[in-house]
Amino acid sequence: IPPERIRNFCIISHVDHGKSTLADRMIEMSGAIDAGARQVHQMLDSLEVERQRGITIKAQTVSLFYQDAAQGETYLLNLIDTPGHVDFSYEVSRSIAACQGALLLVDATKGVQAQTVANFYLAFEQDLGIVPVVNKVDLGHADIDGTLEQMATAFDIERDEALRISAKTGLGVDALFPAILKRIPPPAACASAPLRLLLFDAWYDDFRGVLCLVEVLDGKLERGMELVSAATGSKYTVQTIELMRPLMPAALPSLGPGHVGCVSLGMKTIHEANVGDTLSQASNPQPALPGFRKPQPMVFAGLFPLDENGFQHLSDSMSRFLLKDGSISVENTHSGTLGRGLRCGFLGMLHMEVVQQRLLEEHDCDVIVTAPTVPLKATMKDGSHRSILSAEDLEQVSGEVKELFEPLVKVTLLSPAVYTGDLIALCESREGVQVEHSYLGSERTLLRYVLPLAEIATEFHDRVKTISSGYASLDYEEAGEQPADVVPLGLKVNGKPVDALTRIVRRNKAVPLGRDMVETLQKEMSRQVYDIVLQAVIGSSVVARETIRALRKNVLAKCYGGDVTRKKKLLEKQKEGKKRRALSVGDVAIPQKALTAVLSPA
Ligand code: GTP
């Protein structure tokens, strides 16, 4: 099929606005699968966790043939699935780079939401043809007019440009195909130019190893060709080429300009497949497309097995996990309090939670996660640079640092107007700087703030949801860096540091946070059998202190009469008891629930 009859597009929508349902419906309507044999529901959304959490994590793509009734010509429609997940704006931007158009899908019962706005900007910046679509018009409480008004304001589109559909019942979906052909341009691929491929997604298949989704930007890809990666310089031979047909990929000998397909290049690990990489013929290497970079972990935390002897299991589970997710970074670590563990970097908080949940569900591996840290850059007094990925790193270099820099993010918040005041107060209490405050229609507010990433890494999401009774939505993207005045806030128990609880905090918030920490611990640890002094410390200075008084069991109450030997024996026993307990975590008994309470304050 020539490039003129190809359309590469994605669906931009907020979580639950019906992206998977619409993709299913389009697959069915294009005749790709016989509706009676539709045994796999929501094929584009297949991972178990994705189902449960209702989020799409890994992009998947499908190629459909559509026969244009007017001219009788067959078109190839490549529906490129973007991850609908706030932590993945870089991956979204790469999948958008493989598209020339986007369906902008908005749920008529919910209106425009943050993810739609943030992803619209990504699409807009790349000049994509936009087809606005209002979904769920079959529902009685759908507010089609209100939604159209919001779309008109947020995206500057004409109201009558938008299609009105029900992805569920199929109503209006047939009109989508002609709109796609008309409003989305074909790929500007050139058959005679040297071969260039954009790698826009990759995953690990248990049977076939690493598979890459590519778009042929120019030239023709053939089986057996030798390719070179612009990112790494590594060379690979094309082993298989497949068209992503629903249910059953179709093997092909070659892939022409403008086409999208799945290739196996014999890569050993997912780390070789860099999303955004440009591949070209080894005999005629081409430069990388602009904008490529390796995914950067934005949140680091220690993962320790809950089960004292669980390290090997955690480590094995994580290795298996790494085969599939190349964006996690992992190193061994050791904590005096929690023993052996892994220090991991994630793309964001939600990514971290998803990994934690999958470790538990797929590998039966329950972990305790230490306080998350964002990556800091340090300029040292001697002029050198270092990255600081944990509180421990910061403690080690604290005397030699000249200046620290922290990452910033631009947050998009969309909310019913009544919650605006509280959301602004929240952003300002988190050091936010407003960049936009506007209205979509009369009842919804769009807020954009630049905030330190560290300020949204803990509880920000939950606070937004609580403030707005669940009605506000949130998305964010990276936005540079700024100087950071932060310190490591540590805990000492009876004078001994508890390394697992040290975290990096803003200097102006260290004292109240220190106080919170010792108070929380005091509550959770109140049933101890000896005096315990809890201190929050910054370096050598104590910023808060609490004492837990001994709750001494009166073991002598039972001995009537003055049997000295018995008394001695009982006292010995109590001492032993103390020793055992005290050994449970390092040499101080900090119950698991106390650690958890401090690490994830409610
Ligand atoms: P993520 O994968 O989490 O981004 O969600 P999604 O956007 O793919 O949403 P999904 O297709 O899973 O739909 C969310 C819910 O809305 C499901 O329960 C669908 O059945 C329902 N839904 C989708 N489209 C329609 C529609 O047109 N009408 C009605 N009534 N329900 C719909």
Per-residue model confidence (pLDDT) at position 57: 39
Task: Tell me if 55 CB under 6 Å of ligand 1.
Answer: yes
- Distance from Cα 21 to the centre of ligand 1, integer Å: 5
Per-residue model confidence (pLDDT) at position 84: 59
Tell whether 153 is in a known binding site.
no
Tell whether 280 is in a known binding site.
no
Taking residues 54-75, report their average pLDDT. Answer: 72
Share of the chain above pLDDT 70, in %: 84
- Token pair 């002029």 in the structure block, residue: 383
Task: Tell me if 115 CB under 6 Å of ligand 1.
Answer: no
Q: Answer yes or no: is pLDDT of 489 > 70.
A: yes
Taking residues 141-164, report their average pLDDT. Answer: 92
Q: Answer yes or no: is pLDDT of 123 > 80.
A: yes
Task: Tell me if 17 CB under 6 Å of ligand 1.
Answer: yes
Looking at per-residue confidence, does 329 or 591 come out higher? 329
Q: How far is CA 201 from the centre of its chain?
A: 15
Using an 8 Å Cβ cutoff, are 316 and 340 in contact? no
Task: Tell me if 135 CB under 6 Å of ligand 1.
Answer: yes
Tell whether 277 is in a known binding site.
no
Tell whether 82 is in a known binding site.
yes
Task: Tell me if 116 CB under 6 Å of ligand 1.
Answer: no
Per-residue model confidence (pLDDT) at position 548: 80
Average confidence score pLDDT of the chain: 83
Per-residue model confidence (pLDDT) at position 350: 78
Q: Which of 12, 16, 46 to mutate to test the pocket of ligand 1 (most atoms within 8 A of CB)?
A: 16
Region for 398 from its dihedrals, namely left if φ exceeds 0, alpha if ψ lies in -120 to 50, beta otherwise = alpha
The pLDDT tens digits for 402-411 are 999 999 999 9
Per-residue model confidence (pLDDT) at position 78: 95
Assign 563 a pLDDT band (cuts: 50, 70, 90). Answer: low
User: How many Å apart are CA 360 and CA 75, to the nearest integer?
Assistant: 44
Q: Answer yes or no: is pLDDT of 40 > 60.
A: no
> How big is the CA angle at 332 (ends 328 and 338), to the nearest 5 degrees?
110
Consecutive H or E run containing 524: helix 510-524
Tell whether 20 is in a known binding site.
yes
Tell whether 284 is in a known binding site.
no
Assign 469 a pLDDT band (cuts: 50, 70, 90). Answer: confident
Tell whether 214 is in a known binding site.
no
- Distance from Cα 272 to the centre of ligand 1, integer Å: 34
Spell out a b/e string for 459-488, using b for 16 or more CB atoms within 10 Å of the CB, else e: ebbebbeebbeebbbbbbbebebeebebbb
Q: Answer yes or no: is pLDDT of 247 > 70.
A: no
Residues 6+ apart with CB under 8 A from 215: 8, 98, 187, 197, 198, 200, 258, 259, 260
Fill in the amino acid letter for 408. L
Quick one: tokens of 405?
């820099």
Per-residue model confidence (pLDDT) at position 104: 95
**Measured from the CA of 21, which atom of ligand 1 is nearest?**
11
Q: Which of 168, 169, 171 to mutate to test the pocket of ligand 1 (most atoms within 8 A of CB)?
A: 168
Per-residue model confidence (pLDDT) at position 130: 94
Assign 70 a pLDDT band (cuts: 50, 70, 90). Answer: confident
Per-residue model confidence (pLDDT) at position 554: 53
The pLDDT tens digits for 449-467 are 999 999 888 778 888 988 8
Taking residues 495-517, report their average pLDDT. Answer: 87
Assign 3-state DSSP to the chain and report helix, strand, coil percentages, each to 5: 30, 30, 35
Single out the residue of 9, 6, 17 nearest to residue 79, CA to CA.
9
Per-residue model confidence (pLDDT) at position 566: 59
Assign 430 a pLDDT band (cuts: 50, 70, 90). Answer: very high
User: How many Å apart are CA 602 and CA 600, to the nearest integer?
Assistant: 6
Per-residue model confidence (pLDDT) at position 567: 58
Taking residues 65-94, report their average pLDDT. Answer: 80
Per-residue model confidence (pLDDT) at position 407: 93
Assign 568 a pLDDT band (cuts: 50, 70, 90). Answer: low
Compute the residue count for the chain. Answer: 602
Per-residue model confidence (pLDDT) at position 44: 47
- Distance from Cα 22 to the centre of ligand 1, integer Å: 8
Quick one: tokens of 118?
């943030």
- Distance from Cα 492 to the centre of ligand 1, integer Å: 50
Q: Answer yes or no: is pLDDT of 47 > 50.
A: no
User: How many Å apart are CA 168 and CA 237, to the nearest integer?
Assistant: 43
Per-residue model confidence (pLDDT) at position 140: 92
Taking residues 563-577, report their average pLDDT. Answer: 55
Cross-strand partners of 77: 7, 64
Looking at per-residue confidence, does 421 or 498 come out higher? 421
Per-residue model confidence (pLDDT) at position 307: 77
- Distance from Cα 168 to the centre of ligand 1, integer Å: 8
Q: Answer yes or no: is pLDDT of 246 > 80.
A: no
Asked if the ipTM is above 0.95, the reply is: yes
- Distance from Cα 120 to the centre of ligand 1, integer Å: 19
The pLDDT tens digits for 4-26 are 999 999 999 888 899 988 988 88
The pLDDT tens digits for 176-224 are 999 999 999 999 999 999 999 999 888 887 778 889 999 999 999 999 9
Taking residues 415-428, report their average pLDDT. Answer: 94
Single out the residue of 579, 599, 598 nearest to residue 589, CA to CA.
579
Q: How far is CA 190 from the centre of its chain?
A: 35
Per-residue model confidence (pLDDT) at position 240: 95
